Each structure stands twice: as C-alpha cells, then as structure tokens.
Amino acid sequence: MVPNFNQSNKHIPWWIVLLQGIFALIIGSLLLVNPTAAKDAIVKLLALYFVIGGIFQLVGIFIEPSMWGWKLAGGILGILAGMVIFEHPIWSSILVPSLFVIFLGVDALIIGVISLVQTFKGGGWLAGIIGVISILIGIALLGTPYITSWRLTYLYGMIGVAGGFFAIYSALKLRTAESIKAAKNTNVVKGKKKSKKS
C-alpha cells in the first residue's frame, strides 16, 4: 500500500516539506556523527531546529488550516523553546538532560497524534508507522526524564534522520502528485478545446 498524497496535505507546497526534511536530516546526521561535540554547539543547533520547525508549523496553518490548533500549539512551543535556549545556552546545557527530555517527550506525542490523525484521513500507512514510533518514543522519554545527554543526542539524531528521510520522501510524493494533477488538467483543457472546434 502506497501513501495517498493526493488527499493528505494537498495544499502544502512540496518544497516546504523538502526544506524541512533536508534541515532535519542535516541536524540529525550531525548529532549522530559527533555526539561528543561541545554542548553549546549542539544546544544552538537544537534551538535553531526548534525555531525553524515552529515557524514551519505556523506557516502550515495558513497553507492548510486543518488541525490549526495543534499546529499553533506546536509552532508556539517550538519557537519559545528555541528562543529560551538561544538566550540561555549555559543554563540550557545544564537543564537539557531533564527538562529537554520532557519537552521532547511531549513533542513526540504531539507529532505521533498528528501523524495518526493524518493516517486516518488518508495519509497512508507510512504516516501511521511514524505516528506509532513517535508516540512510543514520547512515552519512553516521559517515563525516563533523567536520560543522559549523550543518549539524548543519539536519540534526537535518529529522530532527525528518520523524520528527514520521511519528509523528503513525502515532498517527492507531493511533487509527483502535483505534476500528475497538472498534466491531467492540461489534458482536460486540451480535450475541451478540441471538442469546441468540432
């Protein structure tokens, strides 16, 4: 069964999804390749990721207003978390091992619920798998908020890479669906012009 991208997210431009996927893939890869890098650099990258992710959530409200409450909450939380981390990098690096894990757990639960809702609205089985995985990760994180920071970087790196690949795959599917729809519309218009001439 192939995800049905004609019904789900039909108004979101494919390039927005692609940019978010590329950004998540880069951040996730950096966290996996060098988890012992300076905490300050990792904290700033995560803050940047939260701010950009929050902006994408808010932009998504105007592009596709369905589930606007979840998008608004996720966008505001992402931007606020990113700003707090940018303003207090040393404070954030001390509190990251516990508070950040709780935030990630809640974020993973929200992403999981949104993915499951999209699955039931015709988003396909892949969105459902991502939703279930996100919910399980959220439960695991909330159950053990004192996870060590190196495990957190690996975990967030894996989430970033997996989410990045999924977003890139989704963007390419959206682009293909848009191209097919445009080609069908072009053929319909040409067919109408031919029928008017005869």
Q: Who contacts 93 (Cβ-Cβ below 8 Å, separation ≥6)?
A: 39, 40, 43
Q: At what angle do helices 101-118 and 149-197 cross, to 10 degrees?
A: 30
Q: What is the pLDDT of residues 172-194, one digit of tens each?
A: 988 888 888 888 877 766 666 66
The answer to pTM > 0.75 is no
pLDDT at 3: 42
How many CA atoms are closer than 13 Å to the CA of 17, on its beta-carbon side? 22
Q: What is the pLDDT of residues 37-92, one digit of tens each?
A: 645 666 777 788 889 988 988 988 888 888 888 889 989 998 998 888 888 776 76
End-to-end CA distance of the chain: 42
Domain residue limits, the chain? 14-182
Q: Percentage of the chain with pLDDT > 90?
A: 4
